[in-house]
Chain A
Amino acid sequence: MPSDSTLHKALAKPAVRTQTAQPTPRPEWRHIHAPDARSATTAHLPRRQGFRELKLFLRNPNAIFGMVVLLTMALCALTAPLIFPRDPLAMVSRPFLWPGQDPAFPLGTDSMGRDVLAGLVHGARISLYVGLAATALGLGVGIIVGALAGYFGGLTDRILSRLIEIFQTLPSFVLVVVLVAIIGPNATTITVSIAIVTWPTVARLTRAEFRSLRENDFVIAARSLGFGHAHIIFREILPNALPPIIVTSSVMVAGAILMESALSFMGLGDPNVVSWGSMIGGGREMIRTAWYLTALPGLAIVVTVLALNLIGDGLNDALNPRFSEDRL
């Protein structure tokens, strides 16, 4: 299932970080302690990097499109109780009104006479909530585990890597189904279950970044200044390890939304809220006579997930300049 963001991870891995980590080519004679003219003049330059990347991101039409779509969806989700104050699960009209048949219900009604448009707008809430919350949770756990493994190395690394490997071996969607079936379906358990299967991806990525960064001069400098492990991990290394993690996170949200929709399609969603997946699951039996009941919620999923993936692509281009050069 689309849980993974391996695609972007694979693309993001060989990130070139020369500009941030080592602003200048090192002088060939290392034992000289006099201030080097080149590093002295460029010391204040890297500050501008963030703006350059933001500008690159904002110049990408696909990414802008994705942002606009996503913000629209988020707006729908936030204002759903205002636009459609009635319960989206309530019966409001006669069943099987086709889209356009009744102007009061522009997208028609389902087999129980529920407003499809209200369902779609309310469905955005659970999809985005699960997507964002599961990603935040997965990122938190993944970053901590990956940072500890990559920073300390040795036995810590070996144990944590094993743990990561175990969770990566378990088929993720099957594990989600098992967890939700055991704990019982509601928004929180679904979120936690999705986070449980997505953190290993982040952990692996973070671990690899930390391993390649921890021997860098700025880390040694911080250590020699007497900073503790926590400061070095979170204030020194993590900011430099973030670009690939940021790219992954947007794809993780997309994956989490896909998983939530698949779960609720199978009837394992939160039974008390309307979700795109459960709308598809409900409309499925009527596919011969009322196919719009299946098609419309699916389109909502596709549009949202596509927007997130476009944003992920834009971030990847902005944060990993090498691949944008390849793109020409």
Chain B
Amino acid sequence: MAHSKSVPRQIWRIVIHAIPTVLGIVVLNFLLLKLAPGDAADVIAAEAGSATEETMAALRRSMGLDLSVLEQLKTYLLNLVQLDLGHSPRYAMPVLDLIMQRLPGTLLLMGTALGVAILLGIALGAIMSSFAGRIPDRVLSILSLLFYSIPGFWIGLMLILLFSVKLGWLPSGGSGTIGSSLTGWDALIDKARYMILPALSLALFYVAIYARLTRAAMLEIRNQDYVRTARAKGLSPLRITLSHILRNALIPVTTMAGMHFGNMLGGAVVVETVFSWPGLGRLAFEAVMARDFNVLLGILLLSSLVVIVVNGLIDLLQARLDPRIGAK
């Protein structure tokens, strides 16, 4: 592999490119925190139940809230460098710990949903493109447009209604049977049963997107010269579809998957509240309800960083799929 040598350089380039974005997001986050009604002193006073003017002033001084905005930004940045996102009065623990506790749950849910969406989407798109203009294509087109129009939280509720309330096949919420002593394979099955409905409700919207993207990309690639060459060589249609058309059609799909990561996180917020899935989204919901802005903004900041990392990884993956991308 000729291009594998340049991977460190590519990573370097991606990191350099990401730094201003990260800084911008951090500053924006700080401004939003300033915009939020009440400051940390108000929150502490409210938690304590009462506070005099003097204690408030003393609190503000001790937390540096009486300094100028620029000074405060400096302390905020310094704290961030030390991975200190502040303290959550509601949960009485550091925001970072709180988020880290919930992050794996969300990543697991999103990863599963994204995997399901990409697999199903590509399969549907491939079917649609090979029957382009005929009945299966039209039916699937309408179906994917329908998927594209259904709110994730509503389909979640409808799935609960069907599979949990009416049929009783699957659990309606949570991430595992409470107090179960299952181990090994059984525990995995148990987890999977709780995963099916939330992952499906989150994935449906993206299935539609990837199906349509794959269809459009495959239709376009089908007319390329190298496909004609492959056909002239006498390769079987299946081989052409899989290794010549589909491989190249993956490029727009992966680009989009990277761009959707952030949006999917937003979808996860709602789906997690529907299924009481213990993840970042549910934490965000609880933080909204408790007006816990430290937690809320911590989630926003950290999820943006996750998006940046994922986009960087996608860039690397694309250089693998299409050597032309990394070459310039």
Contacts and interface: CB of A to CB of B under 8 A. Distances in A.
B36 interface: yes
A6 B300 contact: no
Nearest to A7: B209
Contact of B288 (A62, A181, A298, A328): A181
Main secondary structure of the interface of A (DSSP, over half): helix
B151 A287 contact: no
Most A Cβ at <10 Å: residue of B25, B149, B213: B149
B160 interface: yes
Interface in A266-305: 266-268, 280, 284, 287-288, 291, 294-295, 298, 301-302, 305
A285 B37 CA distance: 31
How many chain B residues sit at the interface, stated as a range, is 35 or more
Nearest to A303: B149
B256 A10 contact: yes
Given A170-B262, A298-B158, A287 B21 contact: no
Nearest to B211: A7
Main secondary structure of the interface of B (DSSP, over half): helix
A261 interface: yes
Contacts of A326: 132, 216, 219-220
A64 to B, nearest CB: 14
Interface in A8-41: 10-11
B325 interface: no
Interface in B198-227: 205, 208-209, 212-213, 216, 219-220
B212 A11 contact: yes
Contacts of A305: 149-151
Interface in A42-101: 62
A174 B300 contact: yes
Interface string A173-202: 111111101110000000000000000000
Given A166-B28, A177-B284, A182 B265 contact: no
Interface string B281-308: 0001100110101001101100110011
B184 interface: no
Interface string A153-172: 00000000011011011111
Contacts of A62: 142
Contacts of A169: 21, 25, 262, 304, 307-308, 311
A3 B21 contact: no
A209 interface: no
A309 interface: yes
Contact of B132 (A173, A261, A306, A327): A327
Contacts of B149: 254, 302, 305-306, 308-309
Contacts of B133: 327-328
A128 interface: no
Interface in B115-150: 132-133, 142, 145-146, 148-150
5 contacts: A2-B263, A170-B300, A171-B300, A266-B285, A284-B157
Interface of B: 20-21, 24-25, 28, 32, 35-37, 132-133, 142, 145-146, 148-154, 157-158, 160-161, 165, 205, 208-209, 212-213, 216, 219-220, 252, 256, 259-260, 262-263, 265-267, 269-270, 273-274, 284-285, 288-289, 291, 293, 296-297, 299-300, 303-304, 307-308, 311
